[in-house]
Every structure is written in structure tokens, then in C-alpha cells.
Amino acid sequence: MSLRNVGIVYRKELTESLRDRRTLMSTILIPLLLFPVLGVGIGYAESEVFGEASREPSKIIVLGGADSPDIIAGLQRAKNLQIMPVVANYVDLISNKKIRAVVDLPPGFQAAIARGENPLVKIYIFSGDLKSSFGATRIEKYFMEYRDEMVRSRLASANLPESLMKPFETKQQNVVSAEKVAGELYGGFIPYLVILMCMTGAMYPAMDLTAGEKERGTMETILSSPTKRRDLVFGKFLLILTASLATGTLAVLSMGATFSFISRFSPSQENGERLAVLSIHPGTVLAIFVLALPVAVLFSAVLMTISLFAKSYKEAQSYLTPMSMVVIIPAVAAVLPGVELTPKLALVPIVNVSLLCKELVAGTYHWNFIALIFLSTCVYAAVALFLAIKMFQRESVLFRS
Amino acid sequence: MIEARGLSKRFQDKKRGEIRAVDNVSFTCQPGKIYGLLGANGAGKTTTLRMLATILEPTDGTALVCGHDVVEQPEKVRANVGFLSTATALYPRLTSQEMVEYFGRLNGLDEATLKKRIDDIFNRLDMNGFRDRRCDKLSTGMKQKTSIARTLVHDPPVMIFDEPTNGLDIMTSRTITAFIRECRDNGKTVIFSTHIMSEVQKLCDVIGIIHNGKLLAEGTLAQLRDRYSEHDLEEIFVNVVAPHFVPAEAH
């Protein structure tokens, strides 16, 4: 192999790619903008939806209760509840979201409580609907307060201490560092992102440098030069790899910046703690990139081999689009909670790196797995690259018509 | 010099089975002469020239280009060949000069030699007005000149032209034919394929008539006129090809 020729091919492909708007969009612009746009978009949508649901009074209907005037009066006074007239088809109204919840008071409710019985209040809701669950929570809150007040007065009248109601309390307390918490919450997302972006970045140049070259009629031109075909493949491959890694790196940087921006400017949570911010140790970032390298090599070689087979850019697109599903599914599988790294899974490409990255972000280092996964991914990448070179030497592929 | 020895190329086609695109073709092209490969569409001209340029590998037989075997030493062959066809397009996002530089570097020229050669070629072909213009912004004539510069940058002793004037307007065609003559006058070995009789008559020192992958007749124009007792090249061509002609429906 002539490194000089590989370098010449690489520099020429780089020059051409940097002049191509579509490559610049897919390799640089999209990864940089994806997270700010997603972050702001999702944040805005979430605050709008929750904000509206929490501001809007819940329209409810109370069934029964004619013999329980205190309850009706209490519900009418309760914050953010609006009692509507009783209708027979209240189930339809709930399912059409005209009414958020219905309170079903048993006959003689107030009198039954006074007698010390244990009557049941039913709350009918639309399960899964945010505003319906808000309504139900508000109703329950009223009944809780009513019950607590009643117990308190009964205890007082019997000269018993209030602590009898709650003999003890429980409280959950986090003892793990904020970094680890964030790693556990969002950690799985990072390898998914790196893997997906490495593929997205490689996809367009892979098509442009192979099928695109056939389509533009420059394949025969370059084949008439004295360069060995292997050198051509390596030069092209290195450019695709560069694009793949550039996209992955930019996506991670953009995500990091978006996270830190959101955490700095978002309001504190109810418990007074700030949002768990994803801050990963630089060593972990390095480890992820070391692992991402063979994955990017694998993608670059596979995408190049597949699109080399295509006659035109369009044909290459139709081959590579299903490929992204093949990649996304294992990458998502690793994000799912409960999926853990096992020796068998360590040999499954993409899934293994995704799972390992998840552990790395959470601060767990299994060196045996790291070595095994790095090596196996290198082997897959080498096989894919070998296939790409073989494909480039087949006349039936280069001159497919 | 080019020596084709029993050059053959077979393809497998799913519907038609084995296709003999080139069948045992032998000929010699001498330096300072233009060899014209004359044939109808699908006769095997492009496949023959692609094998000489080592873009395709022969199924049987071989060829020597400047003493290098096309099968054994394809890189050395390509270093001695300038290949131009209507299928050899330019990189649209490179400038005219970058395109020529790229091929100069791939041909192993050092930067000083490359600069000198490019200045020389760009002056000679009157290309300085568009040397920094991207190839996708060039006119057809400018593109052809850039392609010529690309084939000449390493000053190869052998030039292979595959239907170089196909689809070009008359003025651009004339640039190409003038260039082919110039190559011959500079002592280069030139082979070119065409189906245009007038081009062959004007340019070629030796004519080879190819049909269905076989070289059916070869000689100077005068020799062919003598052999077939016809003056007009088109009549000679028909006389040579007619006994071997198979209507398209028979394929």
C-alpha cells in the first residue's frame, strides 16, 4: 500500500466533501443543532403542556352528596376544582375530556363517617390522561386533608397526642454522587447517540464517494490512474471515517453544551435540588471514543461496501435507509433498563459497545469486557474493510449496469 | 507500443448466458502512428480499450503496453497510458487545475515537476482563463480541454481514446482530433475507437474493423481499399461486416 497515494486520495476527497453542502449539513450542521433544538423544543413543549394542565381548573361532577353538604361545600372551596351539574352520561364526558373526573359519594356518607364506619369514595378517571390524573389528585388531596382534619379533631377530643396518627416517618435520601445519578438517568442515551451519529455521519459521504462517483461518471476516470485500487479504497474509507467521527464528536459536544445550559437556567426542582446534570469524567469520554473508533470503522466500511454496489445515489439511499433500522434497534436495546452486559452480548456488534458505554458513563469499568469488545469490534471492522476492498476489485460491481 | 495478443473478454449475463464481448483479438500499434478501431455500437471497442487501459481484466490473452503486461503489471501500464473517453468525467467540485494536479500527483509527479507541467499544458491548451473555475461550471469545450490536460499531465507514451468525440459539437470535436494528431506527431502510440467513418479516414494510419468482438480486417486505408476493391470506407466496412452480421432480433 502506498501511504502517499492514500494521502493524495484522502486530501482530494476532503476538499470535495468540504465543498459539498449536503455533506456539510449531515456531518457538521445537523449534529451541532440537533440537541439545542431538541432540548429547547422538548423543554418548551413539556412546560407548556404541564403548565396548562396545572393552571387549568379541573371540571368534575359529584354523584350523590345531597346528604353530605359539608363535603360538597368543601369541594366547591377546594383550589382548582370546578363542580359541574350532574348528568347521566358522565362516562362519555370523561372519555371525551369534557369532564376530568367524577366523585361518587355513597349515600349517607357524612353520617356514616360520624358513626365511625368506613365508607368508600370512588373517583372515576380517564387513566393515562394527564389532565384527568391532575383532577383526581386534586380531589384526593381534598379528601386527605378532610380525613386528616377529622382524625386530628377526634384525637384532640379524646385527649390523645397528634403523633398517634403518624407514629413514625420515612424519607428517601440519595447517597450517590450527582454525576452517577445523571449517568444512570441519561447515561444510556450517550452510547446510543454516539453510535447513531457515527452512522449518520458516515452515510452521506459513503454514498457520495462510491455510488455518487459512478453516477457522475468519474469512476472510470479514477480507475485509469496508476493508483492501486486498494489505495483508492483506503483513501475514500478514511474520509468516510473522518466524517463519521466528526459527527459523533460534534453531537456529544453539542449535547454536553445543551445539558449544561439547561441545568444552569432551569428552575430548581420541588425538593430544592437542581436537575441532575450529566457531567462525565474526561477519561470516560476518552474511553467512549476509543470504543467508538472501531464502531465508526465498522460503519464506514459496511456503508461504503453497500453503497459501492449501488449504481446510483438513489439506489444507495434505498439500501442504506433500512441499514439505519438495523443499527438503531440494537442501540436502543442497550438503552432499555435491565439489559446487562453478558459474555454472549459482548460479541454482538453495536449492542456490546452500547452496553459497555452505558457502564462506563455510570463509572463501572470491566476491563475484561472492554478488551473483548474492543477486539471483537476491531475484527468485525477489519472484515468489513476487507470486503470493501474486495468489492472495489470486482468489475461486476464497478461496472454494474 | 501496444501489442494485443489473443485478447478476450467474456461476461455472464443472466438472460443471455455467456457473452463474448471481445474474442481473441490481436493487433499492434506502433509509436508515431494512430490505430483506429472501427466498429458499430456493441462491437467490443470499449471493452478492448478498457482492457488495454487495465480498467477491465482480460478473461484470456493479454496485451503489452510499453513492454508491460496488462494482467501482470496493471499499475505500470496505467502509468504509461493516457485514457480519455466520454465516460471519463471530471470531479464537479474540483477546479480545472485541481483536477489535473490530482492526477499528476497520483502519477507520482513531484510538486516542482507538476507545477511546470501544468503551466506548460494550461498555456498550450489556452486554459488559463478557467484554471480556478470548478469543473461543474465549465462549458463542454472547457471540460474536454481539462480532460485532455488530465491525460497529458504525466506525459504518457501511449494514448487511448474511446469514442472521444461522441456527443460533442463540431468545434469541440475538432479540438480533440487536433489533439490526437498532435499526440502522433510527438511520437506517441495512439489508439482510438469510433464508429464515425470520416474521423477514421482523416486520422488513422492503421484501421482495425471490429465486429461481434472479433477483429475482422486490419490494414492501412490504402491496403483495405485494395483488398475490398472499394474506395469508400463505409462500403469497405459493410463488405467486411455483412457476412458476420446477425440482426438484433437474433440476440
- The backbone region for A93, taken as left when phi is positive above 0, alpha when psi lies in -120 to 50, beta otherwise, is alpha
- The answer, yes or no, to whether residue B66 has pLDDT greater than 70, is yes
What pLDDT was estimated at residue A275?
Answer: 52
Check CB contact under 8 Å for A224 and B106.
no
Summary mean pLDDT of chain A? 85
Q: Are residues A241 and A349 in the same domain?
A: yes
What pLDDT was estimated at residue A278?
Answer: 55
What's the complex ipTM? Answer: 0.90
Listed residues A164, A191, A225: the one ending a domain: A164
SS3 state at B189: strand
Higher-pLDDT residue of B245, A14: A14
B/e letters for B36-49, b = 16+ CB within 10 Å, e = fewer, are: bbbbeeebbbbbbb
| Contacting residues of B for A228, CB less than 8 Å apart | 75
Rounded to whole angstroms, how far apart are CA atoms A343 and A366?
11
Average pLDDT of the segment spanning A76-88: 89
Q: Are residues A256 and A109 in the same domain?
A: no
Average pLDDT of the segment spanning A55-60: 89
- The answer, yes or no, to whether residue B248 has pLDDT greater than 60, is no
Neighbours of A38 (CB within 10 A): 13
Q: How far apart are the first and last CA of chain B?
A: 36
What pLDDT was estimated at residue A188?
Answer: 67
pLDDT category of residue A331 using cuts at 50, 70 and 90: confident
- The answer, yes or no, to whether residue A267 has pLDDT greater than 60, is no
Q: Are residues A213 and A317 in the same domain?
A: yes
What pLDDT was estimated at residue A265?
Answer: 67
Q: Are residues A133 and A240 in the same domain?
A: no
The percentage of residues in chain A with a pLDDT greater than 90, rounded to a whole number, is 30
Check CB contact under 8 Å for B108 and A221.
no
Residue of chain A whose Cα is closest to the Cα of B99: A12
What pLDDT was estimated at residue B48?
Answer: 95
Higher-pLDDT residue of A340, B107: B107
Higher-pLDDT residue of B23, A366: B23
How many domains, in total, are found in chain A?
2
| Contacting residues of B for A2, CB less than 8 Å apart | none
Q: Are residues A273 and A192 in the same domain?
A: yes
B109 φ/ψ angles, rounded to the nearest 5 degrees: -75, 140
Rounded to whole angstroms, how far apart are CA atoms A232 and A218?
13
What pLDDT was estimated at residue A378?
Answer: 86
How far does B247 lie from chain A, in Å, by closest CA? 23
Burial of A276 (0-12, 13-18, 19+ CB in 10 A): buried
pLDDT category of residue A227 using cuts at 50, 70 and 90: very high
- The answer, yes or no, to whether residue A270 has pLDDT greater than 70, is no
C-alpha B70: how far from its chain's center?
A: 15
Task: Say which CATH number the domain at A82 has.
Answer: 3.40.1710.10
What pLDDT was estimated at residue A263?
Answer: 67
Q: pTM for this structure? A: 0.81
Q: Are residues A105 and A23 in the same domain?
A: no
What pLDDT was estimated at residue B175?
Answer: 83
Average pLDDT of the segment spanning A4-30: 93
User: CA A87 → CA A80, A92, A97, B125, distances in Å?
Assistant: 21, 10, 15, 93
> Which of A51-65, A169-183, B72-86 is predicted least confidently?
A169-183
What pLDDT was estimated at residue A272?
Answer: 46
B159 φ/ψ angles, rounded to the nearest 5 degrees: -120, 130
Amino acid at A123: I
What pLDDT was estimated at residue B250?
Answer: 52
pLDDT category of residue B71 using cuts at 50, 70 and 90: very high
C-alpha angle A37/A39/A43, rounded to 5°?
120
Q: Which grid cell sits at B7?
A: 485478447
Q: Are residues A278 and A131 in the same domain?
A: no
Check CB contact under 8 Å for B56 and A395.
yes
Check CB contact under 8 Å for B76 and A226.
yes
Candidates A20, A218, A228; nearest CB to B75: A228
Q: Which grid cell sits at A379?
A: 475484527
Q: Are residues A156 and A270 in the same domain?
A: no
DSSP state of B84: E
- The backbone region for B229, taken as left when phi is positive above 0, alpha when psi lies in -120 to 50, beta otherwise, is left
Decide if B133 touches A, using CB distance below 8 A. Answer: no
Return the CA Rg of chain B.
19
> Which of A256-260, B4-8, B27-31 is predicted least confidently?
A256-260
Q: How many helices (H) and strands (E) does chain A have?
A: 17, 4
User: CA A371 → CA A191, A286, A356, A359, distances in Å?
Assistant: 17, 15, 11, 14
The percentage of residues in chain A with a pLDDT greater than 70, rounded to a whole number, is 91
Residue of chain B whose Cα is closest to the Cα of A6: B106
Average pLDDT of the segment spanning A33-46: 80
Domain range enclosing A78: 55-164
- Residue A221 near residue A318 (C-beta atoms within 8 A): no
Q: Which grid cell sits at A376?
A: 471483537
B/e letters for A95-105, b = 16+ CB within 10 Å, e = fewer, are: eeeebbbbbbb
SS3 state at B211: strand
Domains (range + CATH), chain B: 1-80+158-169+190-251 (3.40.50.300), 82-155 (no CATH)
Q: Are residues A153 and A188 in the same domain?
A: no
Decide if A169 touches B, using CB distance below 8 A. Answer: no
Q: How far apart are the first and last CA of chain A?
A: 30
Q: Are residues A210 and A308 in the same domain?
A: yes
Higher-pLDDT residue of B170, A15: A15
Check CB contact under 8 Å for A223 and B57.
no
Give residue-wise pLDDT tens across range A237-252. Answer: 999 999 999 998 888 7
**Crossing angle of helices B170-185 and B140-152, rounded to 10°:** 20
Give residue-wise pLDDT tens across range B89-101. Answer: 999 999 999 999 9
Average pLDDT of the segment spanning A163-182: 80
DSSP state of B132: T
Rounded to whole angstroms, how far apart are CA atoms B62 and B6?
7
Check CB contact under 8 Å for B108 and A16.
no
